[in-house]
Amino acid sequence: MTDAFLIDKRQVRRSFERAAASYDQVAVLQRAVADRMAERLQFIKHQPTRILDAGCGTGYARPLLQGHYADARLISLDLALGMLRVARGVRPWWQKMLPGNFAAGAYVCGDLEALPLQSGCVDMLWSSLALQWCNDLDLTFRGMRRVLAPNGLLMFSTFGPDTLRELRNAFSQIDGYSHVSRFQDMHDIGDALMRAGFADPVMDVEHFTLTYDTASSLMRDLKALGAHNATQGRRQGLAGKGAWKRMESEYEKLRQDGKLPATYEVIYGHAWAPNQLPDGRQVVQMPSPRQRGR
């Protein structure tokens, strides 16, 4: 990734701090993706007792996860303290009746690329639409692998390279600045998982198309999500009216049935942290001869 497309983490934190109050009003896609991830849990045989929600945002996934794993303790982590403050209020009603921190779980302000947690402290790591804010996937996955206990499950979603392609192409006609993040390809993500020591990765892709009345309404939603441009190569200051009009004119060429499309490519994946011996060798279970012959 070139320097222009590196993510400015301070800008990401500021954006999500400002968006904490408005996020849930516009997070339609984010909720849909989390729901789809939760549906997949019924097909995965795993019973974690400690779960990390990495990049928890306003906490939408908390009741989804605790609906599947009622006895598990959940750690909610986000880069923005404002998001965590909102997330603390998102709990099933019955948990609010319980005393103390056990009911509330734990809330940690931290970065996915430098998880401030002990090694092997969770049995499952869930991360929905947060990896796209990481600059170094190898570093990120190694950190996730470190905090997972042996045989722990990593389950994630992130955006792929087709995301916001219409907006990216429209902005490319007006100047040389980076206006939209670049997103990792599914195959590059799979390779990074393997380099980090994860086993049996499973990945697939789904495309969503949201529609808007104007390009400005799309930009307002992105700002309300905290998801507007945080690349280091972004324009410092506002674009002029002429440049903005040229971008809108380019985007207008895509109008269909009275609406402007915004494509999102969502990559889903899960993988396992295999058991590991003290000398670093990994234990991989193989079926018995009788099982292989069935």
Q: Tens of pLDDT along 17-31?
A: 999 999 999 999 999
| pLDDT value of residue 36 | 98
For residue 176, give both structure tokens. 């040389």
| pLDDT value of residue 283 | 54
User: Half-sphere exposure (CA, 13 Å, Cβ side) for 68?
Assistant: 23
Could you tell me the domains of the chain?
3-160+184-207+266-292 (3.40.50.150)
Measured CA angle at 33 (ends 32, 38), to 5 deg: 95
| pLDDT value of residue 244 | 81
Measured CA angle at 124 (ends 64, 93), to 5 deg: 30
**Distance (Å, rounded) from C-alpha 229 to C-alpha 272?**
33
Length reported for the chain: 294
Q: How many CB atoms lie within 10 A of CB 196?
A: 20
Would you give the end-to-end CA distance of the chain in angstroms? Answer: 48
| pLDDT value of residue 180 | 77
Sign of the Cα torsion 227, 244, 8, 202 reads: positive
Pairing relationship of beta strands 148-159 and 199-212 according to DSSP bridges: unpaired
Q: What are phi and psi of 42, to 5 degrees?
A: -65, -15
| pLDDT value of residue 91 | 57
Which stretches of the chain drop beneath a pLDDT of 70?
1-2, 4-5, 90-104, 175-179, 229-240, 276-294
| pLDDT value of residue 294 | 42
| pLDDT value of residue 171 | 86
| pLDDT value of residue 227 | 80
pTM score of the predicted model: 0.86
